[in-house]
């Protein structure tokens, strides 16, 4: 293997919780709005949603909720189709929340993305959420053209098994034609970390609202966020010395070597 092969070639970003804190005031509100539109008296409050987040994927999360909290719904005819249609409505609400610019990117995200582009390091996304939601978030935060900045976007049902399974990361690596050792994943959750590690990816964690108390064993570093020169990150745990308070391509390279 040459030195070039060892160099950082691509950064694989998770979306929800990593690019932006979308769960509590984005996805959760969109689910509740869809429930209302469907005439359901379900309300996913902040605590309950934290529990439901252990199940990744909106459709999977709805099914889990039904099984646990409203099992009589399991007798419904065409339950799978009904969940699909409820989830489509939820996606529409999420898109309009993003269009209204309700959710900003997390600290350091925009800076790092611009810097990686300048350094010609590839950008990719590996997420459980839908392509519509990724597009809506990118459009409202980095602008319409930013979707094209990503060499590969792996989203939603493109793979049958969602995180913590490694499938989405394998799919993205395969599309990038890179090995896991040439890349780094940035995640915010234990399920995301498990998924990336199972695909052998070095993984940096930036904790988010719902995930800060989760188990991040195996991550190359655990930080409060990506940091900015004017607003340094807090180091929660790291296997190497991090002498800077913000994540840039050099720091990411040092984490994979
Ligand atoms: C986020 C998720 C998603 C979102 C909802 O995972 O688990 O299910 O909560 O999105 P990640 P959908 O951080 O890996 O992106 O309703 O579109 O599934
Ligand atoms: Mg996440």
CB 15 within 8 A of CB 136: no
Closest C-alpha residue for ligand 1 atom 10: 129
Residue 194 Cβ inside 6 Å of ligand 1? The answer reads: no
Residue 27 Cβ inside 6 Å of ligand 1? The answer reads: yes
pLDDT on residue 6:
61
27-38 burial string, b = 16+ CB within 10 Å, else e?
bbbbbbbbbeee
pLDDT on residue 1:
41
Residue 14 bears catalytic tag: yes
Query: pLDDT below 50 — which residues of the chain?
Result: 1-4
Instruction: Quote the CA–CA distance of 116 and 106 in Å, as a whole number.
Output: 16
pLDDT on residue 244:
80
Give the model confidence (pLDDT) of 183-228 as tens digits.
Answer: 999 999 999 999 999 999 999 999 999 999 999 999 999 999 999 9
Whether pTM > 0.85 for this model: the answer is yes
Ligand 2 centroid – CA 4 distance (Å): 30
Residue 45 bears catalytic tag: no
**Residue tagged active-site, from 16, 167, 188, 225:** 16
Neighbours of ion ligand 2 (CB under 5 A): 14, 16-17, 188-189, 192
What tokens appear for 143 in the block? 């602008």
Residue 95 Cβ inside 6 Å of ligand 1? The answer reads: no
Reported as half-sphere exposure (CB side, CA atoms, 13 A), residue 27 has a value of 27
Give the number of whichever ligand sits closest to the CA of residue 17.
2
Helices 58-69 and 28-37, packing angle to 10 deg = 60
């Amino acid at each position: 293997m040459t030195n070039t092969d060892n160099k950082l070639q691509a950064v694989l970003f998770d979306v929800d919780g990593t690019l932006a804190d979308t769960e509590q005031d984005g996805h959760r509100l969109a689910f509740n709005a869809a429930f209302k539109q469907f005439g359901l008296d379900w309300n996913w409050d902040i605590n309950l949603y934290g529990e439901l987040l252990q199940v990744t994927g909106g459709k999977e999360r709805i099914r889990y909720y039904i099984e646990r909290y409203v099992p009589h719904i399991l007798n419904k005819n065409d339950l799978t189709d009904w969940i699909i249609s409820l989830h489509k409505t939820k996606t529409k609400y999420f898109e309009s929340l993003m269009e209204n610019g309700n959710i900003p990117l997390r600290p350091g995200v925009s800076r790092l993305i611009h810097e990686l582009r300048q350094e010609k390091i590839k950008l990719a996304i590996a997420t459980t959420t839908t392509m519509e939601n990724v597009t809506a978030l990118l459009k409202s935060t980095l602008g319409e053209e930013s979707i094209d900045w990503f060499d590969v976007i792996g989203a939603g049902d493109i793979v049958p098994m969602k995180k913590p399974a490694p499938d989405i990361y394998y799919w993205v690596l395969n599309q990038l034609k890179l090995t896991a050792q040439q890349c780094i994943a940035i995640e915010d959750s234990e399920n995301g970390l498990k998924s990336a590690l199972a695909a052998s990816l070095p993984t940096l964690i930036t904790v988010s609202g719902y995930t800060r108390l989760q188990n991040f064993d195996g991550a190359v570093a655990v930080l409060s966020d990506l940091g900015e020169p004017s607003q340094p990150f807090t180091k929660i745990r790291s296997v190497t010395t991090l002498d800077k308070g913000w994540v840039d391509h050099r720091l990411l390279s040092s984490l994979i070597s």
